[in-house]
Structure 1
């Protein structure tokens, strides 16, 4: 006879309601992947409420009875389980609001991996609100790719209970040993260790949280999780590894390749299970991807037999490697009557930037049967940047509401879902069903025109992407695609340039950059010592004593210099010995400055840094992403920007920094090839020079110490 053994109890000082407890367990029921990274998710096969009669039932009996009938249909098996519970303990009810009801759910817990040892576990979950108990009974398990190979479960039956003072985890035991001894042996199980040490604390944490807040949108709600998992793993194996190997771009292929594999898996699963299948017969959906970027999504979907077209304003290097397996065209897309796609069933906008709000519009006007998928990223309105933010919502969620509203105005039943991709912008919208009959197509088009006109009239004054217009006539915005430049639906819409612009402060005028670096350096050096002097223990010679490194009276406090300080040339313009340093404040004995207290100054807030400069300089940086903060971070070998404050970085803390776009291609230890390829800024500009000896500094002390960078391998030449 089976019996329950308590394996762990966590106290909870807060008073928890039954609703809080059950809501917390529900997260584990529908989203097991948030606790265990080896799970892809769960699929709810069947669910029913039944009326409780008796509290006792034997889960082992339910396991055995289910396995004996495992070859029957899932629906028949579930109804059989319900009948067993009804005969022994429960009675089925139609009204979900009947007092003393128990929820019975049949779920599949699906593994993330397709490895043969990764098993899908089919469980019966019994949720009893009156006793605040949720029981999990494993019934069978099978490989994710071989659904017919069902085996008896290897996991334990367990239940989670809310009791006075805490929440307990209990395990079913069939042993006749003493309860304490049994509990000790059970805890050694890997599964029970997970339940006790990971799941139970999570349940307690979730239960303590505010249950009145709406739960986050679950991911992959529009597609079967098991089919998506199988498709994604297959695409990773068939396409992912080869694409990573040939990746010619400077960006990280591990992010972009597998992100597009995930999006392709989502679309394929959606198309295979959506309402567009013809009486159960699957048809290969056709598509056009607007703003296709690297073209990988087009390549993968085309490889899976879907007729597709990818359009982008700028060709990517990888297009040539994809060959004729992907139909990719370099052309700008301006929303108009000339950019309709009635020959394709789907219009895709995958991080399509300024085209994002136009995707539903083009789908609605292409044909009555055209559908769309859009994954919003950058915030664009119809002809300008989207700058609105609703109270209580983030700017991202405000933009999502706008994109969803566009789809609704276009007459779509808009469905929201969340993808599983390595991106913070993972919410997508799908429009595959209309809310109006075909004969109302003209009326809907008129409503779309009015809506776009109202948005363009509202946002014309704050457009950040629209070209200058001499007449400024806001009436010349939209007239069913007949007005505007190139017959566009928005007179001031402007597609992106085919030349990629860089706005990371690396192309700021060298004179302005030098002025900013020098001014901030002197301001930080003259600030109060809230960072603290850094005794140079990195550069001292072997055998030198502490006394030889410290100098009485060598304090870090200096008078704050004025902004119009003597010019300090940047390393690019300096010679071997000449330097425009303020030599009046610099130690003449280099060995003394490198062995003594190196003046580091203090830390000043970024807000005070901004006040150092005129509006003209700030206006120059306004077009750059991040402004002064980004410019200072670009000079990481001089400054540290942490917690909104700027301070000097000790040269001993500097590590060779590889640009993010190259990190993925750097082998271990290869960063050392960049040493001595750049002049030491502190050696030529700091009043005390560089605190490190030349042998220990990663930067070159003078031209004789400088290595030339070879373009062939992007490393130094020993010249």
Structure 2
């Protein structure tokens, strides 16, 4: 029944193959960007032979019922309705129970040793236990998801594992959740995927039955043919699997450890993935797009708005779990220290959580928030005068110099105060954080340091990775204490001693480097008489200097642009540019050069950028209407009429076309097709209209 479509050689053993299969099975969203993740609904194991053909035939009958239900989910105009995933729970429950009975009939029994069994109710929502046992004495944990016994697959060669799972889409507007059965055959070294087929509607995953087989140091992609279908090599599902999944499996198999152990670097381990996706989509519709449309700041709204929507989603689910665990109904309160634009405070407040946001500088968008959104302009300095006993949670969302102080402030505020922090820029108590070892990245080392601070402050530290558009997306959570309330004086002394020793070490380090700064006073203990917990703590200035190359002298900018263009135009590279529907021009875009080589050639001019963040690369990206920087190479942009349909109307003709005035051939586009102004008259006429 199998048709081998393609295979790739791989230097790996069977354990490494299972490691690669584990990554794809548990995290298909790494390869398939349409997915949010998966939710395991039931897991069964089998040691005997089973009839795969019989299993497929029975499953196909169940899937047909599901397919008919989907076809009927249309309105009276024949248009497909948006599926409410919550309303499908009854259908999902019936189908899961039917598939479960089919698998049990084929010899699979519940993997009771590996999951929390839920015999009486298997619903469409993953993780009915929802982590109610919760995170006791763990630093990292997976909540609300049933576990596949990967270790037993490596140890017991005849083991077969069947998983009934729900495949979760990122976008509910375009896709609906799908049911899928995965059968892992330890004896055959094969993993089989039997996804629900969705007819003519858009799918979030391949619509065919397929498998991956490991034999003779090769991984083969096979199409599993049923009784009613023939799968051709040009089938788009097969082509997608061959081009995207198979190479990834081969790569992963060669990289994981020989025992097949896979380091768990997954995201959203402390909350239920399906609940997260459901809530995120709702909050995204409710707050995301409306905020993007009215965004008054100069920053990118698509990053900051949806990032804060995602953080709010995570916190709401985390706090919901906490209330369920403690049997409470009253919503938690919070203080966001270093709240920035205040979006997180706004979303949490509108969702029923009372709190406050404090930042050094008021933002323009603060004026647009309702009066019940409590935002305050001020400095939070680490001292006994800046404690927050009236709030349940302290939040540090990329809080920079306050990051190491969050656990300390939480510990000293009240015995029940908890904290949530997303470390970003590495700061110590009184200065920039200094790396201690080259074995780790500074970010990884700094995360470990903040964990140490949390441990000293008496917190049980949990770590998770958020799904936000930021390279710094690991969060640390201090929710449970490791001591009793009566031991608070002892913990306070431990914290103060830790800070003192740390500050002395920083001071000695600077002295050894020849510094005669204020840190010298720490050695004499003068800070102990100060109101501040550290004499040398310095908050950021309310107005930060702009160092993104935009404030350079205009003459310096023009000289740099001319120099870079001259270097690129040393080589001739003609490209075709459509100046109209019937006219194509050959236009010289010049050559390209690696960024590092370019920097060497203009080293004497780079001194003007020495105090700018990002340097030459930032400068070139600020002039993206002239230069293209792609994969470390610099070249000239090619003017394109397609930009007219992508640039907002209020930004068309607001800047002069550099090529029109400076390129030897001018701009290859006529003025009517170029988003930039061809001369002063073109600029003025458009603005006046």
Give the TM-score, by structure 1 length. Answer: 0.69
Distance 2:299 2:522 in 1: 41
Secondary structure at 1:248's aligned position in 2?
coil
Whether 1:161 aligns to 2:161 is: no
Secondary structure at 1:673's aligned position in 2?
coil
Secondary structure at 2:444's aligned position in 1?
helix
Whether 1:237 aligns to 2:285 is: yes
Q: Deviations over 1:549-600 (max 9, x none)?
A: xxxxxxxxxxxxxxxxxxxxxxxxxxxxxxxxxxxxxxxxxxxxxxxx9999
- Note if contact 2:164-2:181 (Cα within 8 Å) is conserved in structure 1: yes
Instruction: Trace 1:323-402 onto structure 2 (pairs within 5 A).
Output: 323-388=370-435, 390-402=437-449
Secondary structure at 1:109's aligned position in 2?
strand
Aligned pair partner of 1:115 in 173, 180, 188:
173
Corresponding residue number in structure 1 for 2:547: 503
Distance 2:110 2:624 in 1: 68
Greater CA drift, 435-444 or 341-350? 435-444
Whether 1:130 aligns to 2:111 is: no
Corresponding residue number in structure 2 for 1:691: 664
Q: Deviations over 1:22-63 (max 9, x none)?
A: 111111221121122221101234546x46133545324764
Corresponding residue number in structure 2 for 1:474: 522
Corresponding residue number in structure 2 for 1:206: 252
Whether 1:624 aligns to 2:681 is: no
Corresponding residue number in structure 2 for 1:52: 47
Change (3 A) 1:612 1:191: closer
Q: CA deviation at 1:273?
A: 1.9
Whether 1:21 aligns to 2:78 is: no
Distance 2:683 2:211 in 1: 64
Change (3 A) 1:462 1:80: farther
Structure 2 residue ranges without an equivalent (≥5): 66-89, 115-150, 199-204, 578-587, 672-677
Q: Deviations over 1:608-665 (max 9, x none)?
A: 467637xxx95x8544313466557667799888888999x7xx96899x9xxxx999
Distance 2:670 2:209 in 1: 61
Larger gyration radius, structure 1 or structure 2: 1
Q: Deviations over 1:135-178 (max 9, x none)?
A: 3455899xxxxxxxxxxx99655433223344232425134xxx
Secondary structure at 2:381's aligned position in 1?
coil
Distance 1:655 1:70 in 2: 50
Distance 2:573 2:238 in 1: 50
Greater CA drift, 100-109 or 408-417? 100-109
Distance 2:113 2:593 in 1: 72
Secondary structure at 1:261's aligned position in 2?
helix
- Note if contact 2:56-2:226 (Cα within 8 Å) is conserved in structure 1: no
Distance 1:641 1:136 in 2: 41
Distance 1:239 1:359 in 2: 28
Corresponding residue number in structure 2 for 1:225: 273
- Note if contact 2:342-2:357 (Cα within 8 Å) is conserved in structure 1: yes
Greater CA drift, 356-365 or 132-141? 132-141
Q: Deviations over 1:470-504 (max 9, x none)?
A: 5822236697xx544xx111111111112232112
Aligned pair partner of 2:341 in 271, 277, 294:
294
Structure 1 residue ranges without an equivalent (≥5): 142-152, 176-181, 539-596, 683-689, 699-703
Give the TM-score, by structure 2 length. Answer: 0.72
Distance 1:18 1:694 in 2: 59
Instruction: Trace 1:72-83 onto structure 2 (pairs within 5 A).
Output: 83=104
- Note if contact 2:359-2:377 (Cα within 8 Å) is conserved in structure 1: yes
- Note if contact 1:313-1:498 (Cα within 8 Å) is conserved in structure 2: yes
Aligned pair partner of 2:570 in 531, 553, 560:
531
Task: Count how many residue pairs are aligned between Structure 1 and Structure 2.
Answer: 594
Change (3 A) 1:106 1:372: farther
Q: CA deviation at 1:417?
A: 1.1
Q: CA deviation at 1:606?
A: 5.6
Change (3 A) 1:534 1:354: same
- Note if contact 1:20-1:207 (Cα within 8 Å) is conserved in structure 2: yes
Whether 1:672 aligns to 2:653 is: yes
Instruction: Trace 1:247-266 onto structure 2 (pairs within 5 A).
Output: 247-266=295-314
C-alpha root-mean-square deviation of aligned residues, in Å?
4.8
Greater CA drift, 360-369 or 104-113? 104-113
